[in-house]
Every structure is written in structure tokens, then in C-alpha cells.
Homo-oligomer: A and B are copies of this chain.
Amino acid sequence: MHASADTATVTDVAAYMEAICRDARAAARSLASVQTRQRNHALLATAAALDEQRDELAAANAQDLAAGEAAGLDAALLDRLALTPERIDGMIAGVTAVAALDDPVGRIDELAARPSGIRVGRMRVPLGVIGIIYESRPNVTIDAAALCLKAGNACILRGGSEAHQTNRALGECVAAGLAAAGLPAATARVVATTERSAVGHLLGAADEVDLIIPRGGKALIERVVAESRIPVLKHLDGNCHVYLDAAADPDRAHAIAVNAKTHRLGVCNAMETLLVDRAVAAELLPGIAVALRANGIELRGCPETCALVPEAQAASEADWSTEYLGPILAIRIVDGLDAAMAHIERYGSRHTDAIVTEHWSRAQRFLREVDSASVMVNASTRFADGAEYGLGAEIGISTDRLHARGPVGLEGLTTRKFVVFGDGQVRN
């Protein structure tokens, strides 16, 4: 006896999750013989369903919003939860854009002949089954399902309980898209229960699920990492630095420092600490400070910074490690490139760090020696983004080292196998 994954009311969570995972594995296997055209058909049909079901989506979202208000969710959370017509437009545009991307699956690279006569290449193939565990923003349901499907994977979507009705309604649009293309519903399914234990069952299904991607706050990520028996692709902190070198072009230094902090505040690729070479601090910092203050940024500096910038408060040791995600910036004056890189090594989160300089060798050393997912010369940290990098769309930004590092697009949702073309070769 086992529960059906299509049951709307889940009574036995363990049996339900087992069925969900098993069905996803079967769907992933059947995707191996599905052509690009059919996957794109499902994506475009999902976009159409989102457009047709705007009323149902609004009604479901209103239920979640009412429940959230009753439960006392704060305004920021309610805003993230809200499914406005513009946000539905955004999801439709996103799915349509994913359909238009090149299919990564089946591409063979590096095919070359070996001395034995065999030809060896590497074929890009789907990862298999991907579990997505996320909070709040319901658009993840559509974005993640679209990217996983495009890359030939099945996915299991487990959103936050505060968005359950919205995610359910979005899941029905995906189901309609899959059905229109003749693909099984288990190819991308929203978990139909808000039971907390469902997450544990998902994280333990190592035989059926190949990768877990958590998206949300640090507490969620840490719980997933601690509990999972399955590889996790995750994003932790974005404590990003800009270092203004002694040979920085002053205009570029000013523009990049201000943009990296103020362009958008609550994002992981915003600058959180500005490092400045002592040789140019007196020249550069006061003007940058004025511009930052004019943008409402609170400044916290080392003693030398405070001497140059009277509006700056004294930074504490904790400031160097803090990802503010808000209108605060830490500033430190350092003794050249080595001190800057040592600071980044000690306090940084290996997400994105930039140097502003016209000095060739120092730029090369920074590129090579700073151990972060994105390392930049003369550009704003805000460019660390799948769309800006040309990945088409991103499922997230990985701060891990293995498999995928930095913005993760379709390629990170695939793997490569070796293919060998022979003419009867045997080994001697």
C-alpha cells in the first residue's frame, strides 16, 4: 500500500513523499528520450496556462495573503508573497525566455581521436531529479520548474507554508503545461503538504533525488545542509568587497564604489565593505563618502577612515564579517594589495570581490589569488548575476566550490558523461 502522489489531502506524509520521489525518478528516466521540442512545448504551454489562470492565481494568492496577515507576517514578507499582475507577467516572460534558450542536453564537446583509434568526447546530460526547497517568493516555483525541465531534469518543489495556496495554483499551471506536451505530471510537482516532516523525507531520499537546491534565509540553508543525505548546491553569505588600489582611475573608483553599494541594497552581490589603499584614501574617500551619504548609506570605518570622513562611525570587528543587505557600508584603509587580499581572505564569504586599478600586475594577482566565485577588475560587483554573465537565467548563485560555483544556469543543472565512438577497438 502506498499513497498516490496525486492525492490532494495527504494523510501519510512518509508514504506520500516516497511516492513523490519515486514518481520523479521515473519521470526523469522517461525524459531521457524526450526531444527539445517537446520540453519547449511544455514550457510555452505553462506560460499560456499562467496567462489563462490569472484569476485562479489571484484567488489562491489572496488566501495566502489573508492567512499571512492574520498570522502577523511583517510587511516585507507579505510584499514578497504577493502575486501582482506584473509579477505574473514576469513569470510568463521568464518561462518563455527559458524555452528560447539553447538546449544544453546532448551537446558533445571535446570529441577527439585517441592513439588507440577510439574517439572520446563528453556529452552533456541531465542531473536526474532535483529537489528545490524555498521560502516566500512564489516565482521560484515557476523559475525553478522551467530551468529544471529545460535541462531535462525532474524536480520536486517544496515552497514555504505561507505561500502554499499560491504555489499549489502555480503548480497547476505547470501541470497543465506538462499535460499539453504529453509529459508526466511527476516531471515537476509541487509538494501537496505543508507538513514540516516532508522536507526531512525529501532530504533523506538519496536513492531517488540527485541534488537539493535550497533557496531562502540562512536558517533554511543550514538546516538543509545539516540534514541532507543528498548533495546540496547552496548560497550562503554575500559579503562582497571592492578594493580601490593605489593605481585606481579616480572616476572609475568613485562610480564603481557608489554603484556597488547603492544600485540595490538587499542583494547578495552588493558591496558590504570598501577597502582603500592608504596612498589614495585622502584623495578618493571623502568624495565617495559624500555620494554614499547622499544615497542614505550609513558609514562605519576604521580609525583612519573616521579621521578622513567625519560622518563615519567607528566600525567594530563584527562589521567586517557582516552582510548588511541594507544601507550600511564598512570602510577600511589598508596597506596595499596584500593587505586587501588578506582582509578578503579573512572576512569575505568567497562570493564576489572587485579591484579597481590600472596596474596590470596587481590586477592579475587579484584575479588569480582572490578565492571567490566571481573576481572582477574595474567593474561593479552588481554584475555577478546569471543574466549579466549570459547564462540566460539562473537558479541561484552557488558559494560552493564543487560542481557549480557562482551564478548557476542550465549548465549547472546538467552533468557530463564520456562518450566513446569506436570502430571495433579492443585493448591490447
Contacts and interface: CB of A to CB of B under 8 A. Distances in A.
A29 B401 CA distance: 15
Interface in A116-147: 116, 118, 120, 123, 125, 127-128
Q: Which of A32, A372, A383 lies at the interface centre, i.e. has the most chain B CB atoms within 10 A of its CB?
A: A383
Given A378-B423, A426-B380, A407 B418 contact: yes
Given A345-B29, A365-B33, A402-B211, A420 B123 contact: no
Interface in A18-48: 29, 32-33
Contacts of A161: none
Nearest to A372: B417
B374 A420 contact: yes
Interface string A378-408: 1110111000111000000000011101110
A379 B420 contact: yes
Nearest to A414: B401
B427 A259 contact: yes
A256 B210 CA distance: 33
A407 B418 CA distance: 9
Tell me the number of copies of this protein: 2
A369 interface: yes
A92 interface: no
Contact of A259 (B127, B407, B426): B426
Given A123-B367, A390-B112, A405-B415, A376 B426 contact: no
A400 to B, nearest CB: 8
A168 B379 CA distance: 49
Interface string A329-359: 0000000000000000100000000100000
Interface stretch (A80-88, A181-189, A247-255): A247-255
Interface residues of A, number: 66
B418 A118 contact: no
A231 interface: yes
A293 interface: no
Nearest to A210: B401
Q: Which of A118, A256, A380, A425 lies at the interface centre, i.e. has the most chain B CB atoms within 10 A of its CB?
A: A425
Contacts of A427: 259, 263, 380, 382-383, 388
A367 to B, nearest CB: 5
Contact of A424 (B29, B249, B388, B423): B249
Contact of A32 (B249, B369, B401): B369
Contact of A377 (B125, B372, B418, B422): B422
B402 A389 contact: no
A402 B405 contact: no
A416 interface: yes
Interface string A258-275: 111001000000000000
Contact of A373 (B29, B260, B389, B417): B417
A420 B369 contact: no
B422 A120 contact: no
Contacts of A378: 421-425
A229 to B, nearest CB: 9
A192 interface: no
A371 interface: yes
A151 interface: no
28 contacts: A29-B371, A32-B369, A33-B368, A116-B383, A116-B388, A118-B388, A120-B388, A125-B368, A125-B371, A258-B426, A260-B426, A263-B427, A371-B417, A372-B417, A375-B418, A375-B419, A376-B421, A377-B419, A378-B423, A378-B425, A379-B420, A380-B422, A380-B425, A383-B420, A383-B422, A388-B427, A402-B415, A405-B415
Given A123-B375, A367-B419, A389-B418, 11 more contacts: A29-B345, A118-B383, A120-B388, A255-B424, A263-B426, A373-B418, A375-B418, A377-B421, A378-B421, A382-B427, A405-B416
